Amino acid sequence: MAEHQDLRHAHIVGWGKAVPERVVTNDDLAAMVDTTDEWIRQRTGIIERRIAGDQETTLTLSLEAARRALDAANMDPARLDLVIVATVTPDHAFPATACLVQDALGAEHAAAFDLSAGCSGFIYGLSLAAGLLAGGGYERALVIGAETLSRITDWTDRSTCVLFGDGAGAVVLQAGATPGGVLASVLGADGSGGEVLILPAGGSAHPATAETVAARQHFIRMQGQQVFRFATRIMPEAARQVLLKAGRTVEDVVLFVPHQANDRILQAAAKGLGVPEERMFSNLAHYGNTSSASIPIALCEAIEQGLVQRDDLICCVGFGAGLTWAAAAIQWSLPLPVAVPARPHQAWRWLRYRVARLRSLWRRLWRLVDARLFNIRYDENGRRKYKR
């Protein structure tokens, strides 16, 4: 009994999403490439998608989603121990977008890093954070899935440009003794399929050159049929594996929240699991494929629509570049809906973010002063010594 009481569980206590204001419809795309609204709907199920504006980036979308998740959790960002951003479109190769999020939030006590697992990235991050919380080393974590895929989409290629959109979703996890939360996760990869879905250039294998730019190698390339066959096989398989690991069955699941890639894939997954399509949540029509952001955005919308209630079993499942796949079984542990924070709490958080901005500015200025006014030396023990 004592051992059971000592068990820690990672519960989702906050959630939030952010999508760009700009909406690009199928008709808009038909004016750009050789396609039609009917062709796109029949083959993908997508009607429109959100595309980032000039001032929007993976960081800005991550921040908006993170702040909404922290609001829902009624949590001060200074209490966070960990920030993970799952993305294939970071603002920079380095520093990690998660570090920029940590700074902007004022999460000064949190470790931060990015994670790249394609469209499976959010569940990879969720699984990693849940394991760290359950292990006792951390208490609170922020996990974000965020993408600006429009920046790496070839808008002259009708086979891919109709698929992708931009957005971000986030959850706040907190450790607790109450059973529930993230019950189990399954992660997998098959690197032999790496070339099936790839961004050919921009890394160390093919650094950016005039030739790689001219060859349009800095845009997504996808072998659609191979991805489709992989996805329709792995989605139901991964879902069944994680439910078995959690000691549950398909019949126990109230709602499946899958990666939003293609309507035909979702239909095939529902058929493979033997569940009606209404138990397979979909918002694909309005956002398209937002990669690592798709599952957390879908989870947020399912909550907003009243499809998730306390003690419900939810199964999130996805696949992506790598090739990777991932699934998580989650027992919802919060009563819904969550009360809106009182005005004093909202004002305090608004002030907290302004203070975080000033703190960041001060640290930047201090580094500049430190470098200009002092010659830094180190003694034999590695301690800094300042000399004029």
User: Could you give the residue numbers annotated as active site?
Assistant: 119, 259, 289
> What is the enclosing helix (H) or strand (E) of 188?
strand 181-189
C-alpha distances (whole Å) from 273 to each of 54, 105, 120, 294, 379 are 41, 40, 19, 20, 64
- CA dihedral of residues 213, 218, 41, 119 (deg, nearest 10): 180
Asked if 262 contacts 286 with a C-beta cutoff of 8 angstroms, the reply is no
Closest by CA to 90, choosing from 68, 123, 111, 112, is 112
Alpha carbon distance 152, 13 (integer Å): 33
Alpha carbon distance 299, 316 (integer Å): 9
Alpha carbon distance 44, 264 (integer Å): 7
Question: How would DSSP label each residue in 329-352?
Answer: EEE--S-SSPPPPPHHHHHHHHHH
Alpha carbon distance 289, 50 (integer Å): 10
Strands 111-115 and 48-50: unpaired
C-alpha distances (whole Å) from 132 to each of 106, 190, 298 are 21, 25, 25
Phi, psi of 113 (to 5 degrees): -160, 160
